[in-house]
Amino acid sequence: MHKLFKYLLIFLALTSGVNLFAQDVKFTAATSHTEVATGDRFQIQFTANAKITNFKAPDLSDFRVLSGPNQSTSMSFVNGAMSTSISFSYVLMAVKEGMFTIKPAVAAVDGQAYSTNSINIAVSKGVNVQQQQTQQNQPEETINVSKADASKDLFIKSSVTKSEVYQGEHIVATYKLYTKVNIAGNELVKNADLNGFWSQEIDLGQAQWSQEVFGGFRWNVATIRKIVLFPQRSGTLTIDPIEMKFIVQRRATGGGNSVFDQFFGRVENVEATLKSEPIKIKVLPHPENKPTSFSGAVGQFEMTTNLSTNKVKANEAINLKIKISGKGNLPLIDKFAIDFPKDFETYDPKVADNYKTSPTGVAGYKEFDYLLIPRHAGTFTIDPVEFTYFDPSTKSYKTNKSEPFIIEVEKGNGNDANVTFTGVNKEDVQILGEDIRYIFTGDILVSHTKSSFYGGLWFYLALGILPLLFILVLIFRNKIREAQRDVLGSKSRKANKMANKYLAVAKKSLDLQQQTAFYENISKALFGYTSDKLKIPLSALNKENITEKLNGVSVSQETINNFIATLELCEMARFAPVSVSEQEIYGKAEIIINQIEKEVRL
């Protein structure tokens, strides 16, 4: 009997443990009123606490549908845990007396069917309502429409400032959304492939809507993306289409012809997938007569040079600064090929840049700081620095040339052991050694000791400890080298720290009411954390591979859904207002990152 009781307890523990991991799916139906009169309006709502598919509404032909299905998603936080729910709602009007039953709605969760409860509605006599001649069942879910159908009400127009440019000359690609209907949501499906171009995004901030007449119709227009492009090779290059998905609201067809029906007509949520048109760009090669100092710079530039000093002692540092300023492909300008004297110790230049990207291109400056250390005395000459760029406005090469640099190097002090200078990091220069010290000319003191270190206790202790210390140093060095080689692993370990930095910046933007910067930093925190933690390049990030990777490291489906939902909220907020406050989005992002940090198993 005792053993039987023990086995029963084990069985109950196992079965309860299984239930702990089962998802408690709740799919319910509710109504605002259970008793109405003819002519009264009321609402029904079908709500699930999980992601559902294949939603099928019940037969609503006993009532007139004024609005629906209206889909909404909400997230809530209770004791630090996030929960998500999705609902489909309808606004109905009672049109005839009697007792009516709204049968259950049906949907699927992970391939398993669920149904709601039924609802009883009692309709008493009220105002006379003309019934519709025909009443069809409501759509099972959001209606999908083709691009051809969608283009009647909205489309994406792509354009470029030039269709024929020289290699390295900038163009600006602009994507505008034209719409005549309300937009309830949007999602970027596929970004434009920019093969053959170096690109720089222009920050547009919150989408600004305006009106424009196009094709004889008045449209609401918003610029959704603008990019500065620099073609990297000659020939015909193609800017592939951008693809987006929109949820738009349309008035349903098939309603009554009365003024009342037209005013309270049913509204449908319609899903439309749109693509912009591809753009062909003809890229001309640079003219044949290229100077030897031309390395691909295109635009209008000026060069200035500065030598920190032309008179130094041996082993003292000199800084040669070359500054390129102007407008063009500044980010692509590389270091100069300068023939320095062989007696000079040289290092790769430190590069500092400050440029801005705008619809007119990229403008600013880029500075190269070369560190030079002469090792011997003498007079040395550095040949003039040449910088050649191609000016597309004049279709010609232009060369800036400095004066030669003459440097007088005096003999250094004999007792200088180290080189000291400013302008570079400590790790850029190694200690070369110490010069021979002067001969000691004072009295030499000689002392005798009674005991010798050799053969003593400390001698043998040292013999035993030194090999052990050598092995420990070797192990420690190998671990340091392994950690330095594992760049992705280091980023993964520091992912949470970097995400918190972006969240801190987003918090400052929120306090300053800078909405654009806030959503941008929230997106950087989420995308940057995922890139570093899962070792995925930023360019390869999308919702599909994020979901796949998070599933692969044992992150729960609920956490993944919350992560994707928050990303979509941030993306949607760039184009249209969202119902969730910035403070709530900040809290969601912070909780989601901490939750993934707890659950991930690398």
pLDDT at 141 over 60: no
For 458-491, how does the pLDDT look when each residue is reduced to its tens digit (9 = 90+)?
777 877 888 888 888 888 888 777 766 655 556 6
Q: Is residue 590 part of a domain?
A: yes
Q: How many domains does the chain have?
A: 4
Q: Is residue 365 part of a domain?
A: yes
Q: Is residue 19 part of a domain?
A: no
Residue that is last in its domain, among 414, 431, 453 = 414
Q: How high is the mean pLDDT of the chain?
A: 77
Asked if residue 272 and residue 185 are part of one domain, the reply reads yes
Whose tokens are 């184009």? That residue is 575
Asked if residue 215 and residue 91 are part of one domain, the reply reads no
For 327-338, how does the pLDDT look when each residue is reduced to its tens digit (9 = 90+)?
999 988 888 888
Asked if residue 204 and residue 189 are part of one domain, the reply reads yes
pLDDT at 270 over 80: no
Burial of 261 (0-12, 13-18, 19+ CB in 10 A): middle
Q: How far apart are CA 116 and CA 213, in angstroms?
A: 47
Residue 167 CA to chain centroid, in angstroms?
A: 29
- The pLDDT score that the predictor gives to residue 143 is 40
- Classified as helix, coil or strand, 430 is coil
Asked if residue 305 and residue 270 are part of one domain, the reply reads no
Say if CB 424 and CB 347 are below 8 A apart: yes
Q: Is residue 268 part of a domain?
A: yes
The secondary element (H helix, E strand) that includes residue 576 is: none
CA distances 546 to 53, 96, 551, 598, 602, Å, are 21, 52, 8, 17, 15
In this structure, what DSSP letter does residue 375 have? -
Q: Give the tokens for residue 255.
A: 């309603």
Q: How far apart are CA 177 and CA 159, in angstroms?
A: 12
Asked if residue 530 and residue 550 are part of one domain, the reply reads yes
Asked if residue 95 and residue 178 are part of one domain, the reply reads no
In the β-sheet with 112-115, what is the strand arrangement from edge to edge? Answer: 53-56, 106-109, 112-115
Q: Regarding predicted confidence, which is higher, 221 or 148?
A: 221
How many residues make up the chain in this entry? 602
Residue that is last in its domain, among 394, 414, 434 = 414
- The pLDDT score that the predictor gives to residue 17 is 40
Q: How far apart are CA 48 and CA 73, in angstroms?
A: 10
Q: Is residue 184 part of a domain?
A: yes
Asked if residue 46 and residue 149 are part of one domain, the reply reads no
Q: Is residue 447 part of a domain?
A: no
- The pLDDT score that the predictor gives to residue 384 is 92
Asked if residue 262 and residue 132 are part of one domain, the reply reads no
CATH number at residue 65: 2.60.40.10
Residue 299 CA to chain centroid, in angstroms?
A: 30
Percent of the chain with pLDDT over 90: 21
Residue 568 has phi, psi (to 5 degrees) of -65, -40
CA distances 342 to 84, 317, 376, Å, are 68, 15, 10
Say if CB 553 and CB 600 are below 8 A apart: yes
Q: Regarding predicted confidence, which is higher, 392 or 151?
A: 392
Whose tokens are 């900040």? That residue is 586
pLDDT at 139 over 50: no
CATH number at residue 564: 1.20.120
Average pLDDT over residues 284-306: 91
Asked if residue 380 and residue 362 are part of one domain, the reply reads yes
Boundaries of domain holding 396: 294-414
pLDDT at 455 over 80: no
Q: How far apart are CA 602 and CA 597, in angstroms?
A: 10
Say if CB 52 and CB 141 are below 8 A apart: no
pLDDT at 289 over 80: yes
Whose tokens are 């959304």? That residue is 177
Average pLDDT over residues 194-204: 83
Q: Is residue 428 part of a domain?
A: no
Contact partners, residue 261, CB within 8 Å, separation at least 6: 132, 255
Asked if residue 227 and residue 165 are part of one domain, the reply reads yes
Rounded (10°) CA dihedral 260, 263, 268, 269: -160
pLDDT at 97 over 70: yes
pLDDT band at 304 (very low <50, low <70, confident <90, very high): very high
For 523-560, how does the pLDDT look when each residue is reduced to its tens digit (9 = 90+)?
878 888 887 777 777 666 777 778 888 888 888 888 88
pLDDT at 26 over 50: yes
CATH number at residue 401: 2.60.40
Residue that is last in its domain, among 369, 391, 414 = 414
Say if CB 125 and CB 83 are below 8 A apart: no
- The pLDDT score that the predictor gives to residue 16 is 41
Q: Is residue 429 part of a domain?
A: no
Asked if residue 191 and residue 271 are part of one domain, the reply reads yes
Choose the weakest-confidence range: 10-19, 291-300, 589-598: 10-19
pLDDT at 418 over 70: no
- The pLDDT score that the predictor gives to residue 436 is 46
CA distances 276 to 183, 194, 580, Å, are 18, 14, 30
pLDDT at 120 over 80: yes
Asked if residue 269 and residue 205 are part of one domain, the reply reads yes
Say if CB 362 and CB 356 are below 8 A apart: yes
Q: Give the tokens for residue 542.
A: 């999308």
pLDDT band at 6 (very low <50, low <70, confident <90, very high): very low
pLDDT at 322 over 90: yes
Whose tokens are 């009554």? That residue is 256
Greatest mean pLDDT among 101-105, 209-213, 271-275, 591-595 lies in: 101-105
- The pLDDT score that the predictor gives to residue 566 is 81
Rounded (10°) CA dihedral 244, 248, 252, 257: -130
